[in-house]
Amino acid sequence: MPVEAQSSQNSCIPPASSVPEYQPPGNITYPENTTYHEGYVLLAQNCRKNYAVYEAAQNLTGVPWHILAGIHNMEGSCSSTKSLVSGRSIGALEPDVGRNCSYQDNGLGKPIPMAGGCGFRSLLDTAVYAGNHLKGKIGKVPNNIQEYAKALGRYNGIGNANCGRVNATMPYCPPPYEGYDHIYPFSKYDAIHEKMYLVYCADYTKCNPPKEYTRAGALVISNILSK
């Protein structure tokens, strides 16, 4: 059972204080002396429970563990039973994968067939799949904050980029680079991104009037965890 396998992995996870600092590749830098709301810090700390899984996926994909944690927080609130791909329960059908899987190709990070489509066996499989997908969005492991912003925005879908889509005053418009105006990487990241907006309230339905997005973006969680 995937969830049980996950539990046994979690028992090996070191306490937060002993998690080694990981130096991400390239020159990804976060603002210095950033202090985040305590609630966001708690969210980030909650993700540390899956550290062993994120680290294993980092070793397999090259995507830093704290970026994977940021994605997992966005998708599944870092729940050990929720997928990094869509936040759905591990073992449930993944609509993004559709029918594109086979028992003849079921290695680590690969979706597996199940009644009605495809899903994943374990949190680690979803983390590896997510890491590879993030790379696929720009064709390589992101190497700096601009590339992470672009890859993460694309991971979510660019429909949630704010500039030109939301009728409000936004200090981050026009965006200096792709993803800078996207809630998925940057919501609550710094003072400029304190107030961002959800563009689509449902599939093919724009929020009207604009709806403020209240969650912290993936780079916030990553920033906190990388310290």
Rg of the chain over all Cα atoms, to the nearest angstrom: 17
* Residue 21 binds another protein (CB under 8 A): no
Beta bridge partners, 112, equal 119
The number of beta carbons lying within 10 Å of the beta carbon of residue 136 is 12
Question: Would you give the binding string for another protein spanning residues 115-144, x where CB under 8 A is met?
Answer: xx-x-------------xx-xxxxxx----
42-101: contacts with another protein (CB under 8 A): 95-96, 98-101
DSSP single-letter state for residue 161: B
The number of beta carbons lying within 10 Å of the beta carbon of residue 165 is 16
197-216: contacts with another protein (CB under 8 A): 199-200, 203-206
CB of 100 to another protein, least distance (A): 5
CB of 103 to another protein, least distance (A): 4
CB of 32 to another protein, least distance (A): 31
* Residue 149 binds another protein (CB under 8 A): no
Between 52 and 118, name the residue whose CB sits nearer to another protein.
118
Q: Write the CB contacts of 172 (distance below 8 Å, at least 6 apart in sequence).
A: 162, 163, 180, 181, 186, 192, 193, 196
